[in-house]
Chains A and B, each alone.
Chain A
Amino acid sequence: MINEQLIIAGFGGQGVMLMGQLLSFAATNKDINTLWFPSYGPETRGGTANCSVTISEESVNSPVISKPDSLIIMNKPSLAKFQDKLKKDGCLFINTSLVKDVPIRDGVNVYKIPANDIASKLGNPKVANMVMMGAYLAVTKVFSQEDIIEVLKEKFVGEKASLIGINQEALNEGAKAVTL
């Protein structure tokens, strides 16, 4: 049974909010309860941004997550801010392209993914978030890559439809980064 509480954190422009929303859309497609809640300052690009996502086959209560099961960290300040909240034995996904030389706490499962480097190699640095998503899905198996691609197909229509291919590649590369 799915009962997942996740916090995704980074800076504005990294696609942090979108990642969370994709998971919530995938949950809704499967008629699973979900709640997405954003938190950001008045800044946009460059400011801190994070979102909480709950995916549960039971009813969703608190919109704020105090002890997440998983944490996706896209930049350095976010690691310091959130890593102590993570549940014991929780999953910590770190974008090591931007988070280097930072002490990481004990008692959690750490997955290091150089997401920006992988995305740049794919030819579009913007898909770093989807690389992280690929890693997250491969480890937690909350949803399959196909579930996420289905959402992208619903959202990316017209000109944007051409972006689905690179997003699929990013998901694959992210999965490889944690399984190989």
Chain B
Amino acid sequence: MGKVLMKGNEAMALAAIKGGCDAFFGYPITPQNELPEYLSKHMQANGRVFVQSESEVAAINMVYGAAGAGARVLTSSSSPGIALKQEGITYIAGAELPAVIINVMRGGPGLGGIQPSQGDYKQITRGGGNGDYYLYSLAPESLQEAVDLIKESFEIADYYRNPVMIAVDGLIGQMMEPVDFDHEVKKWDLKPKDWVADGDRKSHPKNIINSLYLDPTDLENHNLKLKKKYDDMKANHQRYEMINMENAEIAIVAFGSTSRIARTAIQLLKEQGVNCGILRPITIYPFPEKAFKELPKEVKDLVVVEMNTGQMIDDVKIATMGTHNIHFYGRVGGIVPEAEEIVDAVLKARGESNE
């Protein structure tokens, strides 16, 4: 199969099927509706489950149940819908179940708007629900990367027995690009799912799926067990890309479609004689702190660019520990920054530090 031109939401849906998704549960919301629409046509045809639930809360609890029974499960939504799902997500993380959640972000807070946004950064990277847990969170910048990461995300979810969040924005959901669905993706070393509660008492003993630990010692042990996973993600599975960093004198930090716009911006900057790199987090949790250690010595200024009011700045500050000047440029409300705006922000940051 060669490259196929598809809309982002549909491409992500097909990627889930290719990734071995057994069941989808979701409730409609713009700008991700083509994703469940595509699955409603193609899941049953492939002998899999598609349910449009009565609400987001119902959908995430169906995910909880199906994941507990050992299925590879997906749900998708957009910002306000993801907010509704947080209770279920923390239960799924607490019960150590694998699931993939796609958030096609739109403007907020509240109902916000329907245009692209990266306004859920904090919610995604801090867990979102109650208690000590995190989601392995991937922020692709193109449809090819989204497809590859979604295919792999089911492996990652199974490996960690933890939800994986695919954090994209409405731009990725709505755009069309040619995609190759047959890219090989990383296979993780997966153990048999001997923990499932699937009603089968013959091949394994009775399993209980639960997130309730009333004995504080038990819960502490459970929390520490979860923490080990997050420590392992941080130590071994940070992902990032360094773009045009050789000879860079300044760098942009941007993820998802914003980094894509930044790629155009650095070309324009080059025409003006400014060598600007991009540090692109691919995992936003774990945040790629290692990448900041690789920055060239000449880079003293970092310009964080996001489609929010600066939610990633804290992570950049933690990663750099005061070694760099941190600048910020963002657009919100569903407005997507143009490359020229990012150019101006970089030039301004450069001017300030040269004063």
Q: Bits for A26-52, please: 1 = Cβ < 8 Å to B, else 0.
A: 011001011111100010000000000
With A28-B3, A31-B2, A37-B171 in contact, is A64–B176 under 8 Å at CB?
A: no
Q: How far is the CA of A62 from the CA of B338 in the complex (A)?
A: 8
Q: Is the interface of A mostly helix, strand, loop or mixed?
A: mixed
Q: Is the CB of A28 within 8 A of B5?
A: yes
Q: Is the CB of B175 within 8 A of A63?
A: yes
Q: Is the CB of B178 within 8 A of A37?
A: no
Q: How far is the CA of A35 from the CA of B6 in the complex (A)?
A: 10
Assign chain A's interface to a size class. Answer: 10 to 19
Among residues of A, the one whose C-beta sits closest to the C-beta of B30 is A42
Q: Is the CB of B263 within 8 A of A61?
A: yes
The contact of B261 among A33, A34, A42, A63, by CB within 8 Å, is A63
Among residues of B, the one whose C-beta sits closest to the C-beta of A21 is B176
Residue A24 lies at the interface, judged by CB distance under 8 Å to chain B: yes
Q: Is the CB of B264 within 8 A of A34?
A: no
Residue A66 lies at the interface, judged by CB distance under 8 Å to chain B: yes
Among residues of B, the one whose C-beta sits closest to the C-beta of A35 is B177
Q: How far is the CA of A35 from the CA of B178 in the complex (A)?
A: 8
Q: How far is the CA of A60 from the CA of B264 in the complex (A)?
A: 9
With A28-B178, A33-B178 in contact, is A66–B5 under 8 Å at CB?
A: no
Q: Which residues of chain B are within 8 angstroms of A42 by Cβ–Cβ distance?
A: 114
Q: Bits for A62-88, please: 1 = Cβ < 8 Å to B, else 0.
A: 111010000000000000000000000
Q: Bits for B150-184, please: 1 = Cβ < 8 Å to A, else 0.
A: 00000000000000000000010011111000000
A41 to chain B: closest CB distance in Å? 9
Residue B339 lies at the interface, judged by CB distance under 8 Å to chain A: yes
Q: How far is the CA of A56 from the CA of B174 in the complex (A)?
A: 20
B183 to chain A: closest CB distance in Å? 16
A142 to chain B: closest CB distance in Å? 16
Q: Which residues of chain A are within 8 angstroms of B224 by Cβ–Cβ distance?
A: none
Residue B238 lies at the interface, judged by CB distance under 8 Å to chain A: no
CB within 8 Å of A: which B9-57 residues: none
Q: How far is the CA of A82 from the CA of B212 in the complex (A)?
A: 58
A71 to chain B: closest CB distance in Å? 16
Residue B4 lies at the interface, judged by CB distance under 8 Å to chain A: yes
Residue B87 lies at the interface, judged by CB distance under 8 Å to chain A: no
Q: Is the CB of B176 within 8 A of A24?
A: yes
Among residues of A, the one whose C-beta sits closest to the C-beta of B339 is A62
Q: Is the CB of A34 within 8 A of B178?
A: yes
Q: Which residues of chain B are within 8 angstroms of A63 by Cβ–Cβ distance?
A: 171, 175, 257, 260-261, 336
Q: Which residues of chain B are within 8 angstroms of A111 by Cβ–Cβ distance?
A: none
The contact of A36 among B175, B339, B340, by CB within 8 Å, is B175
Q: Which residues of chain B are within 8 angstroms of A33 by Cβ–Cβ distance?
A: 178
Q: Is the CB of B2 within 8 A of A35?
A: no
Q: How far is the CA of A102 from the CA of B171 in the complex (A)?
A: 32
Q: Is the CB of B261 within 8 A of A64?
A: yes
The contact of B176 among A31, A36, A62, by CB within 8 Å, is A36
Residue B267 lies at the interface, judged by CB distance under 8 Å to chain A: yes
Q: Which residues of chain B are within 8 angstroms of A60 by Cβ–Cβ distance?
A: 177
Among residues of A, the one whose C-beta sits closest to the C-beta of B172 is A63
With A28-B4, A61-B261, A62-B264 in contact, is A35–B340 under 8 Å at CB?
A: no
Residue A25 lies at the interface, judged by CB distance under 8 Å to chain B: yes
With A61-B264, A62-B263, A64-B336 in contact, is A24–B5 under 8 Å at CB?
A: yes
Q: How far is the CA of A21 from the CA of B4 in the complex (A)?
A: 13
Q: Which residues of chain A are within 8 angstroms of B178 by Cβ–Cβ distance?
A: 27-28, 31, 33-34
Q: Is the CB of A66 within 8 A of B171?
A: no
B175 to chain A: closest CB distance in Å? 5
Q: How far is the CA of A34 from the CA of B343 in the complex (A)?
A: 24
B111 to chain A: closest CB distance in Å? 12
B8 to chain A: closest CB distance in Å? 10
Q: How far is the CA of A116 from the CA of B267 in the complex (A)?
A: 40
Q: How far is the CA of A70 from the CA of B119 in the complex (A)?
A: 33
Q: Is the CB of A66 within 8 A of B176?
A: no
Q: Is the CB of B267 within 8 A of A61?
A: yes
The contact of A66 among B3, B4, B174, B338, by CB within 8 Å, is B338
Which 9 pairs from chain A and chain B are nearest by CB? A62-B264, A61-B263, A66-B338, A36-B176, A28-B5, A61-B264, A62-B261, A28-B178, A37-B175
Besides A34-B178, A62-B338, 10 more A-B contacts (Cβ < 8 Å) are A27-B178, A28-B3, A28-B4, A31-B178, A33-B178, A35-B176, A36-B177, A37-B176, A62-B339, A64-B338
B residues whose Cβ falls under 8 Å from a Cβ of A? 2-5, 114, 171, 174-178, 257, 260-261, 263-265, 267, 336-340
A residues whose Cβ falls under 8 Å from a Cβ of B? 21, 24-25, 27-28, 31, 33-38, 42, 60-64, 66
Task: Sample 13 A-B pairs with CB under 8 A, ordered by A number.
Answer: A25-B5, A27-B5, A31-B178, A34-B177, A35-B175, A35-B176, A35-B177, A37-B175, A61-B260, A61-B263, A61-B339, A62-B264, A63-B175
